[in-house]
A and B are shown apart, each in its own frame.
Chain A
Amino acid sequence: MSGQFEPARSGAGQAASALAPQDAVERALAAAKCDECIVIADEGSSANLRWAGNSLTTNGVSRSRQLTVIAIRRSGDEARVGVVSRAGLRDDQLAGVVAEAEHAAAQASPAEDVQPLLSRDGASSAGHVGRAGAAWDSPPSATEIGVFADFARDLGGAFEVAAGGGRKLYGFAEHQLTSSYVGTSSGLRLRNDQPTGRLELNAKSQADLTRSAWAGLGTADFSDVDVAGLEAGLAERLGWAERSVDLPAGRYETLLPPSALADLMIYMYWSAGAKDALDGRTVFSKPGSGTRVGDRLASLPLALRSDPAAPGLQCAPFVIAHASSRDSSVFDNGLSRGRTEWIADGRLAALTQTRHSARLSDLPVTPAIDNLVMAVPGATGSIADLVSRTSRGLLLTCLWYIREVDPQTLLLTGLTRDGVYLVENGEVTGAVNNFRFNESPVSMLSRITEAGDTVPTLPREWSDYFTRAAMPPVRVEGFNMSSVSQAS
């Protein structure tokens, strides 16, 4: 190594990406020679901490910058699309990326999901500016490691408390901020700033790690995290587990906390694409033809909905599609996302749509939205209230390793994790072994007999992809615990 580096000597470096993301979008649009063009600039920043056994293990900060160019060649009713997305692009490479996308479009066969691009008037009822109120012209937002300054101090304190109580803490904290700029040759200029924060805290008994409890939450900025309170809650649950009870496989009355319900509902939501339903290949296909929109799914008059403006769960109020796929269409970039009820009054009310699938299915244009909320009219109380009204049943903490077994019924399998408790006569009386479950969230809806208040929750299984959820705790009849798992 030379060991002689001085910052002022950086002439050897390439011309850095000096262009602001907005300017990169404008310059790419100006360079495009194809019939239509969409350009998306994403500026991301993230910081994370990870710990195990009351000690930090890994950490990091990162920045990302991605420019996606979608070139469209029209010919009559047909359109050919080429998409090129590049990270770490130098300014002098920008025109080359546009040319690559145009070249890909020239080679493509006609796009299945062809639609006209949205114009400024028809774009987004929520306006052209993302929820953070940042204007198109202002610089991208960013996060850095300092977001954890207070949290890291509190976590250090929790490590000491836990160690003193014979507990080991494990977990992960992550904060991300992404500013996305969408520009089109049809005149759209839309921006969204998306903060995403999450904390997972897991406590295990120090001696043998056999008792385990978990808590998780989503947060916009970590200012609202009560680490000591979460640690105390986990200590209480490890206390519940000092008495253990072995139970066999079988169907049990089961109390699902909000996190577990969220993971099951999110998978169902991901499986609610209108195109696959129309093709006859999902649980939402109607035998013969068509979809099951209108069918009763739940016995309670519950609602499952998404809303970009949901308090604390705000997300992009317009479509940002980097590529077309089964459930998204680049032609829909900028399309308004508004409050949508997927299940209303216990009946299937809508499927996730592109404009292409909406036309095929003759159903409203209801694009997927990045949050999910279940609400049950008249339901009140916490998970503790549901426990107090239970004569005998299981109380779960969260679910893990959820995978689809059979798309026809949407049968899912997975494990219980970090605390299954036996409830008898309104009280937790001990910890039970873990189980492998086999359950369909669709069929389960009809066996939800009681619910509590809807509260924000972190979906434990899917939080790498989906963090914005609010769910009630629910009571499910006959939840199918297929076999015992020895895991603890």
Chain B
Amino acid sequence: MERNQGASEIDPEFTAYPLRELADAALATARRLGASHADFRAERIRGQQIGLSDGNLETQFDSDDLGLAVRVIVDGTWGFASAVDLTTAAAARAAADAVDVARVAAAINSEPIELAGEPPHGEVTWLSAYQVDPFGVSVADKIALLGDWSGRLLAADGVSHVDASLLQVKECKFYTDGATTALQQRVRLHPELTAVAVGADGRFETMRTLAPPVGRGYEYLTGTGWDFDTELAEIPELLAAKLAAPSVQAGRYDLVIDPSNLFLTIHESIGHATELDRALGYEAAYAGTSFATFDKLGSLQYGSPIMHVTGDRTAEHGLATIGYDDEGVAGQSWDLIAGGVLSGYQLDRRIARLTGLGRSNGCAFADSPGHMPIQRMANVSLQPAADGPSTRDLIAGVTDGIYIVGDKSWSIDMQRYNFQFTGQRFFRIKNGQLAGQLRDVAYQATTTDFWNAMEAIGGPQTYVLGGAFNCGKGQPGQVAPVSHGCPSVVMRGIRILNTVEEAGA
């Protein structure tokens, strides 16, 4: 278990609440009223959003969400309720409300809810790995830093506008089901700058930083984990070249895909497709189902034999990394695709029990005290080839292709077959060499065709942990942060669209 030994400590304002007394009140009430299972969460989630437009402060917003939640099973039916007052009376009332909800809902429930077992972990504490709490840094310093970065871009030739934003989250959770009582805290940051160039003819292009959102502290903005100075220095020239680049000719190309783009394709075409609640149909009316159905476990040739994909809730600085999930299950790491074959799923305790797969691998998460935990994505990552080639070597092996860097637009169907992605920048590859940028590029494929066209995988030196803060799922909608690590890869014969032609222009 990762445990940061630095200056971090669990938010004392959160631990000052009588968390155990609240839990005792809720769990005792739930059991007295007939619940066969009850769990209790209290959470404090602090957020801060800062946005600058052309160096001027546009947005400054501090949020602080506090509340408790009680989840029960009564006669085989779920009940859930939450409250905003952290008092024993409110905790007991929420427990009674949850039992009431379960009784109302029982009339339309025909599948008794049972949970897979989890070893009791007792009283545990866990903190994510970070050095500097961003909520301990003054707003003035953050605005000054974003202003300086914006100014560097605005000062460059050809940059018309600059957007800068910084999202910061500090999440404190107290969970107990009686067997496991976990007190946890994690911190994450998402800095982003976008430069805009508007040409004389009215055409415009943008270029965004590739720095991924991470489970780190404020040190991420001051030299640990990313080199912002170098990246910002390169953006104006890359943007000018993109604005002047020729429009792509639609057709099939060999692609070298950078981790800064591929992480999102992994998220959509593997991450969601290997959520077992989806594959079983529980998300059928909203997020959708999955082509990777349960009967194909162990047999579906998802991709080429070099493909090895893992799920984990343990990667250092990962956005889905936790000590214990919202059902008291300890963080784990496991295979989803091995040798190109579907070999595992993401699970919560209910789905693990329902399918006889044994223990949950810890994918239950609720994004706020007001929401019931649902199965949410682990860090899903494509493993690099040990001793594999560099990105430059991968490019050298392509005669006629495109090198794609950075994520932008994404869309995939409700069974995770047909997808379309764009990117930040696209370089023509001719005879193993980069030959300038292209504009108006999108790639479109069917998931299994795409991953079976993967011919080469880069080495560990190409591996980057990308991610997103805003993965949506469920009704009512919940958002979850998640990371995806991957190396650079080579894909043969992928369909490239020209987006201007697609628009009929």
Chain-A contact segment, one of B56-64, B322-330, B383-391, B429-437: B56-64
- Whether the Cβ atoms of A280 and B89 lie closer than 8 Å is no
Q: Does A391 contact B (CB under 8 A)?
A: no
- Whether the Cβ atoms of B476 and A406 lie closer than 8 Å is no
Chain-B contact segment, one of A8-16, A183-191, A239-247: A8-16
- The answer to whether A107 and B140 touch (CB under 8 A), given A53-B281, A401-B412, is yes
- Whether the Cβ atoms of A281 and B84 lie closer than 8 Å is no
**How near does chain A come to B284, taking the closest CB pair, in angstroms?**
5
- Whether the Cβ atoms of B143 and A4 lie closer than 8 Å is no
B82 to chain A: which residues have CB within 8 Å? 60-63
Main secondary structure of the interface of B (DSSP, over half): mixed
Closest B residue by C-beta to A172: B475
A123 to chain B: which residues have CB within 8 Å? none
**How near does chain B come to A463, taking the closest CB pair, in angstroms?**
9
Binary contact readout B126-161 vs A (1 if CB under 8 angstroms, 0 otherwise)? 000000000000111001000100000000000011
Closest B residue by C-beta to A171: B285
B232 to chain A: which residues have CB within 8 Å? none
Q: Does B7 contact A (CB under 8 A)?
A: no
- The answer to whether A81 and B28 touch (CB under 8 A), given A406-B500, A443-B504, is no
Our pick among B79, B85, B104, B413 for the contact of A152 (Cβ within 8 Å) is B104
A484 to chain B: which residues have CB within 8 Å? 418
Q: Does B187 contact A (CB under 8 A)?
A: no
- Whether the Cβ atoms of B90 and A16 lie closer than 8 Å is yes
- The answer to whether A401 and B414 touch (CB under 8 A), given A12-B21, A58-B374, is yes
A286 to chain B: which residues have CB within 8 Å? 202
Binary contact readout B448-482 vs A (1 if CB under 8 angstroms, 0 otherwise)? 00000000000000000000000010011100000
Chain-B contact segment, one of A133-141, A258-266, A412-420: A412-420
The docked-state distance in angstroms from the alpha carbon of A58 to that of B348 is 14
State the interface size on chain B (CB cutoff 8 A): 109
- Whether the Cβ atoms of B80 and A60 lie closer than 8 Å is yes
Our pick among B87, B282, B420 for the contact of A10 (Cβ within 8 Å) is B87
State the interface size on chain A (CB cutoff 8 A): 113
Our pick among A13, A59, A81, A406 for the contact of B440 (Cβ within 8 Å) is A406
Q: Does B333 contact A (CB under 8 A)?
A: no
**How near does chain A come to B110, taking the closest CB pair, in angstroms?**
4
The docked-state distance in angstroms from the alpha carbon of A112 to that of B442 is 36
- Whether the Cβ atoms of A322 and B61 lie closer than 8 Å is yes
B412 to chain A: which residues have CB within 8 Å? 401
B418 to chain A: which residues have CB within 8 Å? 415, 436, 483-487
Binary contact readout B65-102 vs A (1 if CB under 8 angstroms, 0 otherwise)? 11100000000011111111111111010000100111
Q: Does B18 contact A (CB under 8 A)?
A: yes
- Whether the Cβ atoms of A204 and B415 lie closer than 8 Å is no
**How near does chain B come to A224, taking the closest CB pair, in angstroms?**
20
The docked-state distance in angstroms from the alpha carbon of A286 to that of B231 is 32
A→B interface (CB under 8 Å) = 1-5, 7, 9-10, 12-14, 16-17, 46, 48-65, 81-90, 100, 104, 107-113, 145-146, 148-149, 152-153, 155-156, 159, 168, 170-172, 174, 200, 202, 204, 209, 214, 279-281, 285-288, 322-326, 400-409, 411, 413-415, 417, 434, 436, 438-440, 443, 464, 478, 480, 482-488
Can you list 7 A-B contacts (CB < 8 A)?
A59-B79, A60-B80, A60-B82, A61-B101, A81-B60, A83-B61, A443-B505
